[in-house]
Amino acid sequence: MDFHHQQYWQQRAQALKIENRLFINGRYLPATEGGTFAVDDPAGQRELTQVARATGVDVDLAVRAAREAFERGDWSQASPAQRKSTLATLATLMEQHAETLALLETLDTGKPIRHSLRDDIPGAIRCIRWYAEAIDKVYGEIAPTGNDSLALIAREPVGVVGAIVPWNFPLQLACWKLGPALATGNSVVLKPSEKSPLSAIYLAQLATQAGLPDGVLNVVPGYGHDAGKALALHHDVDALTFTGSTQVAKQLLIYAGESNMKRVWLEAGGKSANIIFADCPDIDKAAQNAAAGIFYNQGQVCIAGTRLLVEESIQQPFLQALRRHAAAFTPGDPLDPTSAMGTLIDSDHRQKVANAIERGLQQGATLFLDGRTHPLGDHDGYLGPTILTAVDNRMDLAREEIFGPVLAVTTFNGEQQAIQLANDSDYGLGAALWTRDLSRAHRLSRQLKAGSVFVNNYNDGDMTVPFGGYKQSGNGRDKSLHALEKFTELKTTWISLD
């Protein structure tokens, strides 16, 4: 039996021993106040474990450990070569434990094991290895001053970084924060979502095994209003990095202002437009990309192509192609390696998504494909691909982030209307356009107000390019060398040469 069979994963799931404690100063610990919270398997509809619930007391312990480690200097002052070696070792250990990490991710979130194993965990590993390799490739600067002075410009680690990450790609997005934060010499206190903390807890022991000094990485699972708030308000946290909803992102800015003006870097919500022109080079390929762009990971993707803007003259053939490709995302058991779609994160979220569909119908949208009924019956976690047409840009469907497999389709005529519709949003994370016209591609890419614009693809990219958004999609950038800027301070040293 191998990992291509459902029974293999079911047996591994039954035998899995789950670590469920906090990780502070190099050790697993129960919560100081003894609290726990349940972590469930949304597909199996069972409790996986009771995880230690961090409160403000635990966050304070973790921040203190992080500060002591930073001031001690065995990581913050370590040579670039030493930090590089340690993070590269961590990436190798993650590879060796990839199946366990993938299984934890699938059990925790309900995403298909094929995606955890193929995308999430390899993506997290690539991120850590990429930043390990980047450490000794980044240089300081010498300013062009007069001959009587020498001005050196250097980047120094900011200190203690608080990282708050969401439940949709738990380990991969954690590594998007950990990679650059650790590479630049900082200490980190990581708060994973209470809905998906297991892979981060497991990663902590691998980091210590790789040689990361005690206190450099601490993991404090808990609730946002408790552990997350304590981290955001803490006066000894120098920078806060966050991926999640725009509503929470705004609150974190307030907390920073109420405390020590810590740097706050936010990757928040999205409502990205995928624009299909009549001169689209390949309607079938565009439809396949559009389906994956909204239905992958059950639509729980910040940069999902949730708004499809299709030129009116090709709406019908495009929708028919889209329906065919949506069929590839029929919900199935996440532990079945043939499943391309699993469950939503929990039954409450599934109900919110179903409510958004109903609200769209009440506001006048037309149901083209209904994912509320599917082969798995009344299971509370499943909701399949759903497509609504005749969506007006004023409808909630076009304006609010649903975070589920729900596509809102709007028609347009001509470039100007397409741009107007695409940019008429509070968000600006991503956008895509499909056209054979090279001039149009360049012209519209410049006009679209989004952090990433994809031409004749949807959401391609790798570690070499920055990820983040305009407007209420946040600030700062994850990935690429640009992420290093978020976790460093610029220092000028001016030397007179009299």
Q: Largest alpha-carbon pair distance within the chain?
A: 82
Place of tokens 């396949």: 288
pLDDT higher than threshold 80 for residue 178: yes
Q: Copy the structure tokens of residue 340.
A: 């391309």
**pLDDT, tens digit, 9 for 90 and up, residues 290-306:** 999 999 999 999 999 99
Q: For the residues 30-35, what does the mean pLDDT come to?
A: 98
Q: For the residues 440-461, what does the mean pLDDT come to?
A: 98
Strand partners, 311: 412
Query: Predicted confidence band at 3 (pLDDT cuts at 50, 70, 90)?
Result: confident
Query: Predicted confidence band at 373 (pLDDT cuts at 50, 70, 90)?
Result: confident
Q: Quick check: 70 and 212 in contact, CB under 8 A?
A: no
Query: Predicted confidence band at 376 (pLDDT cuts at 50, 70, 90)?
Result: confident
Residues 431 and 483: their CA atoms lie apart, in Å, by 21
In this prediction, residue 166 carries a pLDDT of: 98
**At 491, which amino acid appears?**
K
> Where do the CATH 3.40.309.10 domains begin and end in the chain?
273-455
**pLDDT, tens digit, 9 for 90 and up, residues 145-174:** 999 999 999 999 999 999 999 999 999 999
Catalytic residue among 33, 47, 105, 267: 267
Query: Predicted confidence band at 4 (pLDDT cuts at 50, 70, 90)?
Result: confident
Residues 86 and 137: their CA atoms lie apart, in Å, by 16
Q: Write the burial class of residue 222 (CB in 10 Å: 0-12 exposed, 13-18 middle, 19+ buried).
A: buried
Q: For the residues 455-479, what does the mean pLDDT come to?
A: 97
This prediction has a pTM of: 0.97
Query: Predicted confidence band at 275 (pLDDT cuts at 50, 70, 90)?
Result: very high
Query: Whole-number mean pLDDT of the chain?
Result: 97
Query: Predicted confidence band at 378 (pLDDT cuts at 50, 70, 90)?
Result: confident
Among the listed residues 398, 429, 168, the one whose alpha carbon sits nearest the alpha carbon of residue 298: 168
pLDDT higher than threshold 80 for residue 202: yes
Residues 349 and 64: their CA atoms lie apart, in Å, by 35
| Backbone dihedral angles phi then psi of residue 142, each to the nearest 5 degrees | -120, 120
In this prediction, residue 318 carries a pLDDT of: 98
> Where do the CATH 3.40.605.10 domains begin and end in the chain?
6-268+473-492
In this prediction, residue 379 carries a pLDDT of: 84
**At 87, which amino acid appears?**
L
pLDDT higher than threshold 70 for residue 391: yes
Strand 273-276 and strand 430-434: the pairing is parallel
Query: Predicted confidence band at 1 (pLDDT cuts at 50, 70, 90)?
Result: low
The yes-or-no answer on residue 267 being catalytic is yes
User: What is the CATH topology of the domain spanning 6-268+473-492?
Assistant: Aldehyde Dehydrogenase; Chain A, domain 1 (3.40.605)
User: What is the CATH topology of the domain spanning 273-455?
Assistant: Aldehyde Dehydrogenase; Chain A, domain 2 (3.40.309)
The secondary structure element, H or E, covering residue 12 is helix 6-15
Q: For the residues 461-471, what does the mean pLDDT come to?
A: 97
**pLDDT, tens digit, 9 for 90 and up, residues 142-153:** 999 999 999 999
**At 21, which amino acid appears?**
R
Strand partners, 27: 24
